[in-house]
Structure 1
Amino acid sequence: MTDWLLTPKPNPDSSVRLVCLPYAGGTAATYIRWADRLPADVELIAVQPPGRSSHIHVPPCQNMNQMVRGIHKALQPYLDGKPFSILGHSLGARVAFELVKRLQRSGEALPRRLYVSASRAPHLATLRNPTSTLPDEMFLEKMRQMGGMPESILADPEQVALYLPSLRADFRIVDTYRTRVTQVPVPIHCIYSREDEHIDPDDALAWAAYSGKGFASQEVAGGHFYINDRSDFWDGFASTLDRHN
């Protein structure tokens, strides 16, 4: 483990790495359980941003640049020539896109594929009412409606006090992130659900404009957090991992 990364099953003999970025308020735990399902030659790297879980007392990132800069720095030991792909869910998809842009600007290796899951295309990301500035009661009710935080946390005042700063910080990134359509020389694989009450399918498929090297899409069933409990997502996603070429 580095400050920002968890590697549940380190595998120096792997042929490819998969770097996974969490949704707003999410943790590396979302992805750690994937380690037992991935092919043996795929090494999982789960991003654990500050302000949550084992880093709960570390100040969270306040903007997109700070988040991307921290992930980029933590990834340096893994940019050793071994192929890798990046996956991000919801806010994590937009962070992943900005990470790819940063890698491109610095002349470093680019991922074989960028997976963007449950996310509208970046230039559409601001077409929503701000969440981060809501009063506490309304903000927590919004978290309940979205379904990403366990009720055991939302119903416990002590837990809420611990997690509220990082939740608000993540949604501040959601609310303030701005960008234009910019193509990256990386294939983009878009995953979406028509049952997702937060992301319109057309807004998700608009990611096609961001790839200069091919675009694919995968429709799955389930709500916004289908990555937590849908086997059809997993089966379709795992079959696309580039492992041997």
Structure 2
Amino acid sequence: MKLFCLPYAGGSESAFYSWKGHMQPDIEIYPIQLKGRGRRFNEPCYESLEEAVQDIFEQVQAERKGDDYALFGHSMGSLLAYELYYQMSGAGAEKPVHIFFSGYKAPNRIRKTEKLHTLPNPIFKKKIVELGGTPEELTNHEELFELFIPILKSDFKMVENYIYQERNSKIDCDITVLNGKEDAMSKEDVSDWKHHTSGHFTAYYFEGNHFFLHHHVEKITEIINHSLTASRTF
């Protein structure tokens, strides 16, 4: 079983490295590396969400090697996982046995229309810090933050320009939704995910803000291990 992990805006595959020692031996963590960061730092950032999803689709298809697989996305990664599911479905590819949506409201929920990615860098930086949607490893290092602003703006652009389209079919696997109690989302934002699956829906709430996942590694990986054991096909 492979677990493909999709990061938040500005995030890279390193966001999931600490999970590896907590997973069951038969569950292989595979963090997706997006363009413009990590080992793909020299590649230009995506111009659209569709481009990102196609790139991720190709990575998953190349690495899956016939194994069952699941998806985990946090924040922007949840939106990528949602769209990736329908890319897989449309291409007739093997679909995931489970999807974990973390730190992101159901895609049908109305979002703010402000386009933060169009703001001048100093204002953009101030806004995203105020929103609490910036990784601490960036906000605590000024020079690193400046280096990552183009990547963050590219990621915010993908999310802010996203237009939800209702699908003719629901996700046909179980889904698990995780959220921080101090994150700026209503219970309806979270519970509406249940309308997007024909499978089982489970929600978990954690102490903390948008980046609760960094502070609850043991509990989150325990949930993943349990859920994938239940979802496994024999």
When normalised by structure 2's length, the TM-score is 0.89
Partner of 2:182: 195
Q: Which whole-Å CA distance do the structure 2 matches of 1:121 and 1:172 have between them? A: 19
- Identify unmatched segments of 5+ residues in structure 2: none
Deviation at 1:56, TM superposition (A): 2.1
Higher helix share: 2
The answer to whether the Cα contact below 8 Å between 1:220 and 1:233 also exists between their aligned partners in 2 is: no
Partner of 1:83: 68
Is residue 2:206 matched to residue 1:220?
yes
Alignment RMSD: 1.8
Question: Which SS does the other structure have where 1:121 is aligned?
Answer: coil
Partner of 1:173: 158
The code of the aligned residue for 2:17 comes to I
Deviation at 1:149, TM superposition (A): 4.5
The answer to whether the Cα contact below 8 Å between 2:23 and 2:221 also exists between their aligned partners in 1 is: no
Q: Which whole-Å CA distance do the structure 2 matches of 1:29 and 1:79 have between them? A: 20
The answer to whether the Cα contact below 8 Å between 1:220 and 1:232 also exists between their aligned partners in 2 is: no
The answer to whether the Cα contact below 8 Å between 1:22 and 1:47 also exists between their aligned partners in 2 is: yes
Aligned length: 226
Deviation at 1:148, TM superposition (A): 1.6
Partner of 1:67: 52
Q: Which whole-Å CA distance do the structure 2 matches of 1:240 and 1:195 have between them? A: 24
Task: Name which of 187, 193, 205 aligns with 1:207.
Answer: 193
- Identify unmatched segments of 5+ residues in structure 1: 1-15
The answer to whether the Cα contact below 8 Å between 1:79 and 1:109 also exists between their aligned partners in 2 is: no
Partner of 1:229: 215
Deviation at 1:214, TM superposition (A): 2.4
The code of the aligned residue for 2:192 comes to A
Question: Which SS does the other structure have where 2:117 is aligned?
Answer: coil
Q: Which whole-Å CA distance do the structure 1 matches of 2:127 and 2:51 have between them? A: 25
Partner of 1:9: none
Deviation at 1:133, TM superposition (A): 1.2
The code of the aligned residue for 2:118 comes to T
Task: Name which of 78, 86, 103 aligns with 1:118.
Answer: 103
The code of the aligned residue for 2:129 comes to R
